[in-house]
């Protein structure tokens, strides 16, 4: 007994099979003609097949490997050219493709999934003056990462300060901090903390009590030490996190800056789950389109009403202008306008 479930790869190939060849003839299908057909073709014409087709209708979503997509079940069955006629070729037989036809947006009712990240809604917002304690409790078990730092085994490997950044001192930082007066800032992508330390100095100058959260896995990226060769390595660890802590201590910013040492994706999702929101969010981590797209979407969920989302490298050609493409798409999908301030892009949600 045949099974539609196990026959789906064959069906996908059959649908994709090219029939526009020379010496192709179409003949009516009757009971006598069916007996002369291959078993696989007779199977497609059987009542049992039609019954199983109806039972399995709509159970498989778009792009599910090995199965027919929902689109195929909703297509008139005459598309197979075997309901009333069968196509027979006298040319040399070819092996049909086992791949299903490419799905289009119309075929996939859930195609908006690429706009969805994590929880639809974040938890109730934590009060700004409780954000620091929330991070210390959730991330560092109630202790400070700066306490008794550096440990003896790292003291000789770290520099008193080694601040390195790109676009970390642009006018956009002062412009936005002066305008937004943020109580909480989230920086997505920190490296050694140059931008965070600069923002801490600005908030101090303006008399603001601002908490800055620095989200980074502090691993750099593949090959970064070819360009930035001043970081030591200890048992495979490039020591970006310890040097970041040392930099924050050197500039006396431990009360303003807290690291969140996780990947941007998992870190932003947890901040959302914990209800940690911000008035100002800088996105400056991965510069390929998909990384930037995910970080921007996840970061936007953490904005307080009237908050501002911004980032660097709007004019950088890396990954075929990956950052710019992600920013432009996000603005277009959500109806925002993009402002440019130097090398930075700015999206104001107010």
Q: Which residue segments constitute the domains of the chain, with CATH numbers given?
A: 4-110 (no CATH), 117-348 (3.40.50.150)
- As a whole number of angstroms, the distance between CA 185 and CA 279 comes to 6
Tokens read off for 134: 């929330």
- As a whole number of angstroms, the distance between CA 267 and CA 265 comes to 5
Partners of 283 in beta bridges: 188, 311
Residue 65's pLDDT is 40
Over its length of 350 residues, how does the chain's per-residue pLDDT go in tens digits? Answer: 444 444 444 444 444 444 444 343 444 455 555 566 566 556 656 666 556 555 544 444 344 443 333 333 334 433 444 333 444 444 444 444 444 555 555 544 455 667 777 777 899 999 999 999 999 999 999 999 999 999 998 888 888 887 776 667 789 999 999 999 999 999 999 989 999 999 999 999 999 999 999 999 888 776 666 666 666 777 766 778 999 999 999 999 999 999 999 999 999 999 999 999 999 999 999 989 999 999 999 999 999 999 999 999 999 888 789 999 999 999 999 999 999 999 999 999 98
Residue 32's pLDDT is 56
Residue 163's pLDDT is 75
Cis check for the bond before 226: say yes or no (omega within 30 of 0): no
Tokens 């090219």 label which residue? 18
326 CB-near residues (< 8 Å, 6+ apart): 289, 290, 292, 293, 296
Residue 89's pLDDT is 44
- As a whole number of angstroms, the distance between CA 258 and CA 227 comes to 27
Region of 189 on the Ramachandran plot (φ > 0 left; ψ -120 to 50 alpha; else beta) = left
Residue 187's pLDDT is 98
Pairing of strands 24-28, 303-311: unpaired
């Amino acid at each position: 007994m045949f099974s539609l479930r196990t026959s789906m790869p064959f069906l996908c190939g059959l649908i994709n099979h090219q029939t526009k060849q020379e010496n192709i003839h179409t003949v009516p299908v009757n009971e006598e003609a069916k007996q002369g057909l291959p078993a696989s073709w007779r199977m497609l014409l059987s009542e049992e097949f039609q019954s199983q087709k109806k039972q399995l209708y709509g159970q498989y979503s778009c792009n599910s490997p090995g199965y027919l997509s929902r689109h195929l079940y909703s297509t008139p069955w005459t598309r197979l050219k075997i309901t009333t006629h069968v196509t027979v070729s006298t040319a040399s037989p070819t092996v049909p493709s086992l791949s299903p036809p490419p799905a289009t947006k119309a075929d996939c009712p859930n195609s908006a999934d690429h706009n969805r990240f994590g929880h639809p809604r974040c938890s109730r917002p934590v009060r700004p003056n409780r954000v620091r304690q929330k991070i210390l409790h959730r991330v560092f078990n109630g202790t400070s990462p700066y306490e008794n730092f550096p440990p003896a085994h790292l003291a000789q490997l770290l520099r008193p300060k080694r601040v390195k950044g790109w676009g970390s001192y642009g006018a956009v930082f002062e412009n936005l901090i002066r305008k937004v007066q943020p109580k909480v800032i989230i920086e997505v992508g920190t490296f050694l903390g140059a931008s965070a330390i600069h923002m801490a100095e600005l908030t101090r100058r303006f008399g603001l009590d601002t908490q800055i959260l620095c989200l980074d896995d502090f691993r750099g990226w593949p090959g970064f030490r070819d360009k930035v060769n001043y970081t030591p390595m200890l048992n495979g660890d490039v020591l970006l996190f310890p040097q970041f802590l040392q930099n924050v201590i050197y500039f006396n910013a431990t009360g303003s800056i807290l690291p969140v040492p996780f990947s941007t994706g998992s870190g932003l999702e947890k901040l959302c789950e914990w209800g940690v929101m911000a008035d100002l969010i800088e996105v400056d981590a991965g510069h390929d389109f998909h990384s930037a797209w995910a970080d921007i979407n996840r970061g936007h969920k953490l904005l307080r009403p009237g908050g501002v989302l911004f980032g660097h490298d709007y004019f950088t050609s890396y990954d075929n202008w990956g950052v710019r493409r992600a920013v432009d798409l996000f603005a277009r999908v959500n109806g925002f306008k993009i402002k440019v301030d130097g090398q930075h892009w700015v999206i104001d949600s107010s």
